[in-house]
């Protein structure tokens, strides 16, 4: 009798060795994301930009506030055409800005601010928006009414007015920028998530989970949120550029980043003013911003596909 | 023999897909004669629908049809759209499964019928209207003139299907193609529709092609049968030949898989354990006078009234350990609501649910969740009841993880694998997603999820209704085997009386939220007392052509009335009815006519 018992045990061990753990959506998603070439390239490019932005003071000879009065708005050495007023020389590979500062280091300092704002504000809006929307949609009834009316009230506040009040009350502060932008961006997210949740709530698998004893919040976490991720990810990839642009707009109004610190929005605004005489001042920050936004879009697409098991 | 209406030769339908070419219909040859009814039987994916879509040039853009289809000697394949339209919709017409999606929602019934009539035959308006009225009378639509001005959503499913038939017959076709015309309908309504089609065939001499997966429907209607499987006709012949002397194994298997209302115990199938052998007399569940009302706003601004919709209106029953109670009734009779109220998935309005001596009324939140270990549910739609973003392993493990948090990950995994093996799934499939499986496999996942906590009660809410017959019989066998192994009680909800006869010890018939009859399975099928039960049972088609032909077709005169109307429940006790839709009405009482056989009061027939 022992022989067949042994065989079953053997097959079981083999089965285990082949397929040790039950995988979850997230492990599968990671695997699929890495397999997506566009998304993977984008992740690498973004990481390079982020790493350069983080470590630029350690390897670059110029500081972001160092002014070289001799080389105001000079072209990089390799810039084509002979009509450039002057050549910057040295390591100024991106040329100089209108105040004689090295553009390369300034673009990377701008990346610090823009990426940070983009990430943090989007993350804030994601966390608040998804949680808020999922709870409102899932619980429903009076709580839903109350929560969504509150969103409506916030919606009706003019954005700029809101930011100016914040700035005046709490003084100008880099941190406030995140709060202000995040506080506005999560509203749309909450509405999207609530709408999706309402339709998912009707599905039978939610009832099946309730019958399995899963509580309200576990249900939201395990069943509702993974199933609303598709539209959420798409919206996030739209939010990041919006946030970066919002920051540049606030900086333009003098409510955001102040000189000599800078951001891509500020750099592009400056570059625009010198477009005819010093086009590099517009080209480089705009190029970085465009590449970054492309990367976010590819990552967003990749994430959406990776999170959809039907697309395996 | 006279020339056939439709002659199909070497007919193929092919679809281009991303992966490869799919051969949906392979080398078909058959004829349809004048005034004949040809049944096409097959399970989903057998190509039975694509066959006629292909023949009439209605394929999707990636499909093409080859071979020859001749309508009265005229080749239809490759005919230009214009000439095809002259035949299609006028001489050859189609009825589809879902009458709501097949009717244009923003046009009145009358307008849609007239459109069909006037594009094909240029008749003056008044005459067209007269013809439409005649046809509507023919398909027995009451108050036909008023119905002409109504929109599709204002009609019930059965009425809509009648309108579809009327639209299909208004131009006087030679051939009517009915693609699963009754699949979405209740049995009683199905019986009415089939009766209408039978009359059409008799009176108008229209040939009918009846496409169905239901051998019972085919048995009662068809003169000839073609059995299809994977795009091929495996067997064809007269109805009697195919049913009484099937030659092909697939036909035999298909006939064997059909649940038979007249033969509950069949060889080769799992058999319900009689209650006496289980020996358990312990009462597990007592439901007393359970009521579930939903408030429905009627009337609009400025004065809206809230009326209770009595989904479940005073139902009492008890369930012993190991016993299966079948709940049958038409859609909207409250059978699912009843089960969900018992399981505390929805709040009851009144009454008591006592679970092994404990009243569940006062339990809330976490206490209810603890109880979930004892009762579980299997849903109708296997795909919809599984989270598309969870692997089936996670789905099966979910009740275990929430209800028995003391288990370690490996223990959970072991339990899941063991249960998967038990319900006939490969344990290696643990990381697959629901969309990778067929309906039957997904339903096994659903059953595994319900069984994994070894509950004492399982509610099967139409658990086998959405499956093909052969799969359905496998799942029924699985459920019965699991029951004899684990000894759990079951509440088996179904609109299919033949399945219920096979799996339930006792059967409860619901009509608009109230019990009309409750008895053990043999008494209820062999000695039904209530007129509603009788009509329900008579309406079930049996896959036996002779029995079907000889059957007296008892059909209910009317459709299921609105449950908002308080008079509705007294449809069978008109003598006690107060003729006011808002009045508080008499409730028919249950009378015990024999031991354990309860029947609601009703007027003598």
A120-173 pLDDT, tens digit per residue, is: 888 888 899 999 999 999 998 899 999 999 999 988 888 778 777 877 787 767
> How close, in Å, is residue B588 to chain A by CA atoms?
33
Residue B66 lies in a domain: yes
Name the residue with higher pLDDT: B165 or A7. B165
Identify any residues that bridge with B238 across adjacent strands, giving them in sequence order.
Answer: B224
Distance of CA A291 to the CA centre of its chain: 13
* Cβ separation B413–A21 shorter than 8 A: yes
Best of A11, A12, A17, A213 to disrupt the B interface (most B CBs within 10 Å) is A213
CB proximity B515 to A under 8 Å: no
Q: Model confidence at B278, in pLDDT bands (50, 70, 90)?
A: low
Q: Which domains does chain A have, with CATH numbers?
A: 35-311 (1.10.3720.10)
CB proximity B433 to A under 8 Å: yes
Closest partner CB to B402 (pick from A15, A212, A307) = A212
CB < 8 Å to A212, chain B: 372, 376, 398-399, 402-403, 449
A50: phi > 0 → left, psi -120 to 50 → alpha, else beta; which? alpha
Query: Domain with B36 in it: what CATH number?
Result: 3.40.50.300
**Which residues between 39 and 58 in chain B have a beta carbon less than 8 angstroms from any beta carbon of chain A?**
none
CB proximity B449 to A under 8 Å: yes
Please state, in angstroms and as integers, the Cα–Cα distance from residue B12 to each residue in A281, B30, B46, B72, B210, following that order.
66, 13, 13, 20, 20
Domain that holds residue B101: 6-257
Can you tell me the distance from the alpha carbon of A180 to that of B235, in angstroms, rounded to the nearest whole number?
Answer: 73
Residue owning tokens 């199905």: B190
Q: Which of A274-278, B72-76, B440-444 is the most confident on average?
A: B440-444
Best of B368, B389, B437, B447 to disrupt the A interface (most A CBs within 10 Å) is B389
Alpha helices by DSSP H, A140-173: 141-156, 159-170
CB proximity B69 to A under 8 Å: no
Supply angle C-alpha B375, B379, B384, rounded to 5: 135
CB proximity A221 to B under 8 Å: no
* Average pLDDT over every residue of A69-77: 82
pLDDT digits (tens, 9 = 90+) for B261-272: 776 666 667 777
Has residue B56 got a pLDDT over 90? no
Residue B485 burial (10 A CB sphere; 0-12, 13-18, 19+): exposed
Distance of CA B246 to the CA centre of its chain: 26
Residue A309 DSSP code? G
* Cβ separation B387–A309 shorter than 8 A: no
Rounding to the nearest 10 degrees, give the CA dihedral for residues B259, B262, B264, B267. Answer: -80
Specify the pairing of strand B457-461 against strand B283-298: unpaired
Can you tell me the distance from the alpha carbon of A213 to that of A19, in angstroms, rounded to the nearest whole number?
Answer: 28
Residue B1 lies in a domain: no
Q: What's residue B581's pLDDT?
A: 67
Per DSSP, the three-state class of B421 is: helix
Percent of chain A, pLDDT > 70? 90
* Cβ separation A211–B446 shorter than 8 A: no
Q: What's residue A14's pLDDT?
A: 45
* Cβ separation A213–B373 shorter than 8 A: yes
Alpha helices by DSSP H, B18-156: 48-55, 81-87, 99-102, 109-120, 125-138, 144-148
Q: What's residue B262's pLDDT?
A: 73
> How close, in Å, is residue A108 to chain B by CA atoms?
40
Residue owning tokens 């709408």: A195
Residue B291 burial (10 A CB sphere; 0-12, 13-18, 19+): middle
Has residue B478 got a pLDDT over 60? yes
Here the tokens at position A39 are 């998304």
Can you tell me the distance from the alpha carbon of B261 to that of B244, in angstroms, rounded to the nearest whole number?
Answer: 18
CB proximity B402 to A under 8 Å: yes
Mark B184-209 as b/e (b = at least 16 C-beta within 10 Å). bbbbbbbbbbbebbeebbeeeebbbb
**Which residues between 192 and 211 in chain A have a beta carbon less than 8 angstroms from any beta carbon of chain B?**
203-205, 207-211
Has residue B494 got a pLDDT over 60? yes
Q: How many CB atoms lie within 10 A of CB B535?
A: 18
Residue B235 lies in a domain: yes
Q: Model confidence at A8, in pLDDT bands (50, 70, 90)?
A: very low
Closest partner CB to A205 (pick from B372, B384, B413) = B384
Residue B112 lies in a domain: yes
Closest partner CB to A309 (pick from B369, B380, B389) = B389
Residue owning tokens 């799992």: B270
What is chain A's alpha carbon radius of gyration, rounded to the nearest angstrom? 25
Per DSSP, the three-state class of B454 is: coil
Q: Are B173 and B56 in contact (CB under 8 A)?
A: no
Residue B102 lies in a domain: yes
Closest CA to B377 of B343, B427, B338, B349: B343
CB < 8 Å to B417, chain A: 15
Closest partner CB to A208 (pick from B379, B403, B430) = B379
* Average pLDDT over every residue of A53-78: 85
Residue of chain A nearest B386, judged by CA positions: A205
Percent of chain B, pLDDT > 90? 12
Q: What's residue A18's pLDDT?
A: 46
pLDDT digits (tens, 9 = 90+) for B443-467: 999 999 999 999 999 999 888 887 8
Specify the pairing of strand B457-461 against strand B489-493: parallel
- Could you give the number of structural domains in chain B? 1
* Cβ separation B413–A22 shorter than 8 A: yes
Residue of chain A nearest B404, judged by CA positions: A213
* Cβ separation A25–B376 shorter than 8 A: no
Can you tell me the distance from the alpha carbon of B577 to that of B583, in angstroms, rounded to the nearest whole number?
Answer: 10
Taking the model in full, what pTM does it have? 0.80
Closest partner CB to B376 (pick from A207, A211, A307) = A211
pLDDT digits (tens, 9 = 90+) for B318-360: 998 889 999 998 877 888 889 889 888 888 888 889 988 888 8
Q: Model confidence at B76, in pLDDT bands (50, 70, 90)?
A: confident
Q: What's residue B2's pLDDT?
A: 64
Can you tell me the distance from the alpha carbon of B465 to that of B460, in angstroms, rounded to the nearest whole number?
Answer: 10
Can you tell me the distance from the alpha carbon of A133 to that of A137, in angstroms, rounded to the nearest whole number?
Answer: 6
Closest CA to B220 of B177, B182, B267: B182
CB < 8 Å to A213, chain B: 369-370, 372-373, 399, 402-403
* Cβ separation A222–B390 shorter than 8 A: yes
Residue B343 lies in a domain: no
Residue owning tokens 């390591």: A91
Q: Model confidence at A13, in pLDDT bands (50, 70, 90)?
A: very low
Residue of chain A nearest B380, judged by CA positions: A204
CB < 8 Å to A23, chain B: 391, 431
Distance of CA B137 to the CA centre of its chain: 27
Element holding A286 (H helix, E strand)? helix A280-306
Has residue B5 got a pLDDT over 60? yes
Q: Helix (H) and strand (E) counts for chain B?
A: 22, 22
Name the residue with higher pLDDT: B60 or A217. A217
Q: Is the dihedral of CA B271, B272, B276, B279 positive or negative?
A: positive
In SS3 terms, B556-602 reads as CCCCCCCCCCCCHHHCCCHHHCCCCCCCCCCCCCEEEEECCEEEECC
CB < 8 Å to A205, chain B: 384-388
> How close, in Å, is residue B293 to chain A by CA atoms?
18
CB pairs under 8 A between A and B: 97
Can you tell me the distance from the alpha carbon of B328 to that of B517, in angstroms, rounded to the nearest whole number?
Answer: 10
Best of A32, A203, A205, A225 to disrupt the B interface (most B CBs within 10 Å) is A205
* Average pLDDT over every residue of A2-24: 48
Closest partner CB to B345 (pick from A28, A207, A309) = A207
pLDDT digits (tens, 9 = 90+) for A231-249: 888 888 888 878 887 887 7
Residue B346 DSSP code? S
* Cβ separation A15–B345 shorter than 8 A: no
Can you tell me the distance from the alpha carbon of B167 to that of B16, in angstroms, rounded to the nearest whole number?
Answer: 33
* Cβ separation A18–B431 shorter than 8 A: no
Q: Please tell me whether the interface predicted TM-score (ipTM) of this complex is above 0.85.
A: no
Closest CA to B571 of B555, B559, B584, B589: B559
CB < 8 Å to B398, chain A: 209, 212, 214, 222
CB proximity B439 to A under 8 Å: no
Percent of chain A, pLDDT > 90? 21
Percent of chain B, pLDDT > 70? 93
Q: What's residue A161's pLDDT?
A: 81
Report the mean per-residue pLDDT for chain B. Answer: 84
Has residue A50 got a pLDDT over 90? yes
* Cβ separation A22–B387 shorter than 8 A: no
CB proximity A22 to B under 8 Å: yes
Element holding B141 (H helix, E strand)? none
Q: Are B431 and A22 in contact (CB under 8 A)?
A: yes
Name the residue with higher pLDDT: A257 or B106. B106
Residue B75 lies in a domain: yes
* Cβ separation B385–A208 shorter than 8 A: yes
Residue B486 lies in a domain: no
Closest partner CB to A204 (pick from B370, B379, B390) = B379
> What is the arrangement of strands in the sheet containing B6-16, beginning at the earlier edge strand?
B21-32, B6-16, B63-71, B74-75
CA distance from start to end of chain A: 43
Q: Model confidence at A41, in pLDDT bands (50, 70, 90)?
A: very high
**Which residues between 301 and 360 in chain B have a beta carbon less than 8 angstroms from any beta carbon of chain A?**
343, 345
Has residue A15 got a pLDDT over 50? no
Q: What's residue A10's pLDDT?
A: 47
CB proximity B372 to A under 8 Å: yes
* Cβ separation B379–A207 shorter than 8 A: yes
CB < 8 Å to A24, chain B: 390-391, 394
CB proximity B385 to A under 8 Å: yes
């Amino acid at each position: 009798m022992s022989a067949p018992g042994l065989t079953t045990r053997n097959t079981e061990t083999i089965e285990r060795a082949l397929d040790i753990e039950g995988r979850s959506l997230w492990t599968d998603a990671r695997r699929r994301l890495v397999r997506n070439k566009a998304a993977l390239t984008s992740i690498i490019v973004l990481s390079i930009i982020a790493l350069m932005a983080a470590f630029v003071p350690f390897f670059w000879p110029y500081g972001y506030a160092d002014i070289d009065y001799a080389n105001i708005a000079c072209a990089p050495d390799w810039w084509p055409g002979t009509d450039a007023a002057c050549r910057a020389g040295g390591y100024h590979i991106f040329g100089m800005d209108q105040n004689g500062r090295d553009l390369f280091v300034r673009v990377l300092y701008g990346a610090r601010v823009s990426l940070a704002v983009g990430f943090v504000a989007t993350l804030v809006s994601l966390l608040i928006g998804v949680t808020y929307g999922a709870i409102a949609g899932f619980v429903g009834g009076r709580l839903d009414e109350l929560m969504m009316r509150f969103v409506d009230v916030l919606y009706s506040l003019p954005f700029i007015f809101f930011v100016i009040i914040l700035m005046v009350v709490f003084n100008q502060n880099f941190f406030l920028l995140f709060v202000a932008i995040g506080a506005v961006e999560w509203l749309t997210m909450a509405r999207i998530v609530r709408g999706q949740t309402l339709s998912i709530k009707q599905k039978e698998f939610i009832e099946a989970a309730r019958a399995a004893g899963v509580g309200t919040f576990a249900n939201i976490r395990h069943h509702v949120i993974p199933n609303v991720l598709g539209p959420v990810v798409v919206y996030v990839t739209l939010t990041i550029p919006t946030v970066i642009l919002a920051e540049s707009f606030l900086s333009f109004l003098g409510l955001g980043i102040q000189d000599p610190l800078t951001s891509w929005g500020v750099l592009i605004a400056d570059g625009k003013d010198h477009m005819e005489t010093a086009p590099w001042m517009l080209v480089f920050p705009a190029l970085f911003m465009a590449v970054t936004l492309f990367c976010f879009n590819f990552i967003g697409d990749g994430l959406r596909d990776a999170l959809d098991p039907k697309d395996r | 023999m006279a020339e056939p209406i439709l002659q199909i030769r070497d007919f193929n339908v092919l679809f281009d897909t991303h992966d490869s070419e799919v051969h949906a219909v392979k080398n078909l040859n058959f004829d349809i004669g004048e005034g004949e009814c040809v049944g096409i039987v097959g399970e989903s994916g057998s190509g039975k629908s694509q066959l006629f879509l292909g023949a009439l040039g209605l394929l999707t853009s990636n499909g093409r049809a080859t071979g020859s289809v001749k309508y009265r000697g005229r080749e239809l394949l490759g005919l230009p759209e214009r000439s095809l339209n002259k035949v299609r919709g006028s001489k050859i017409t189609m009825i589809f499964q879902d009458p709501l999606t097949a009717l244009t929602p923003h046009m009145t019934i009358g307008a849609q019928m007239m459109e069909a009539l006037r594009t094909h035959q240029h008749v003056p308006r008044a005459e067209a209207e007269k013809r439409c009225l005649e046809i509507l009378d023919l398909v027995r639509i009451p108050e036909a003139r008023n119905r002409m001005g109504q929109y599709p959503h204002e009609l019930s499913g059965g009425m809509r299907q009648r309108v579809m038939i009327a639209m299909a017959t208004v131009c006087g076709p030679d051939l009517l193609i009915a693609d699963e015309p009754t699949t979405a309908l209740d049995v009683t309504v199905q019986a009415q529709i089939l009766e209408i089609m039978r009359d059409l065939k008799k009176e108008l001499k229209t040939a009918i092609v009846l496409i169905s997966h239901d051998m019972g429907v085919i048995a009662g209607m068809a003169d000839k049968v073609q059995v299809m499987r994977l795009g091929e006709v495996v067997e064809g012949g007269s109805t009697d030949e195919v049913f009484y002397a099937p030659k092909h194994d697939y036909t035999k298997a298909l006939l064997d898989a059909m649940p038979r209302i007249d033969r509950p115990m069949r060889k080769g199938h799992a058999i319900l354990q009689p209650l006496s052998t289980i020996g358990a007399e312990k009462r597990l569940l007592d439901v007393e006078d359970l009521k579930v009302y939903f408030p429905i706003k009627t009337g609009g601004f400025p004065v809206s009234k809230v009326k209770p919709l009595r989904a479940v209106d005073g139902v009492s029953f008890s369930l012993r350990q190991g016993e299966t109670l079948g709940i049958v009734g038409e859609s909207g009779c409250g059978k699912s609501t009843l089960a969900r109220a018992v399981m505390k998935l929805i709040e009851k309005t009144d009454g008591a649910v006592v679970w092994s001596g404990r009243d569940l009324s006062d339990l809330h939140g976490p206490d209810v969740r603890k109880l979930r270990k004892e009762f579980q549910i299997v849903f109708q739609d296997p795909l919809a009841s599984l989270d598309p973003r969870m692997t089936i392993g996670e789905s099966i493990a979910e009740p275990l993880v929430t209800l028995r948090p003391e288990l370690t990950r490996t223990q959970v995994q072991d339990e899941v694998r063991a249960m998967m093996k038990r319900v006939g799934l490969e344990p290696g499939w643990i990381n697959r997603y629901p969309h990778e499986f067929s309906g039957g496999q997904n339903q096994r996942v659903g059953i595994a999820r319900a069984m994994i906590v070894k509950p004492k009660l399982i509610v099967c809410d139409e658990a086998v209704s959405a499956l093909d017959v052969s799969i359905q019989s496998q799942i029924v066998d699985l459920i019965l085997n699991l029951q004899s192994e684990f000894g759990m009680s079951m509440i088996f909800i179904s609109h299919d009386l033949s399945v219920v006869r096979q799996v339930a010890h006792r059967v409860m018939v619901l009509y608009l939220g109230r019990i009309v009859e409750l008895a053990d399975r043999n008494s209820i099928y062999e000695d039904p007392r209530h007129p509603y039960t009788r009509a329900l049972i008579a309406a079930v088609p049996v896959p036996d052509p002779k029995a079907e032909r000889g059957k007296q077709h008892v059909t209910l005169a009317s459709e299921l009335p609105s449950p908002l109307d308080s008079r509705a429940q007294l449809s069978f006790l008109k003598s006690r009815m107060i003729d006011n839709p808002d009045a508080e009405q008499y409730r028919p009482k249950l009378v015990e006519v024999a031991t354990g056989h309860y029947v609601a009061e009703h007027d003598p027939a």
